[in-house]
Amino acid sequence: MAMIVNENTTTTTKYRSRDEIIGSILQYATAEEGITKTRIMYNSFLSYSQLKEYIDHLIRNKLLSYSKESKRFKITGKGLKYLELYSEIHEMSHRT
């Protein structure tokens, strides 16, 4: 963990794995109306260049789809299955 200190606050940030970032993007994309690129970027705490890499990867692997009409991303059936499996693995690895 890294400690970020500024004169007014102290916060702790955790480095996230690629799987954690993908899981969070897919989770946000489960919204029925979909989600915009900007909203994914802010919710996932990614830079634009990072976001572009992840979105390209997710679309290429058919985990995420994009609607040109609504300009929103939605999770696919394959993405839902990935998210379900990721959640199970995450839960199993964090049991105490």
DSSP string, the chain: -EEEE-SS-EEEE-PPPHHHHHHHHHHHTTSTT-B-HHHHHHHHT--HHHHHHHHHHHHHTTSEEEETTTTEEEE-HHHHHHHHHHHHHHHHHT--
Domains of the chain: 17-93 (1.10.10.10)
- Give this prediction's pTM: 0.80
| pLDDT tens by residue, 36-68 | 999 999 999 999 999 999 999 999 999 999 999
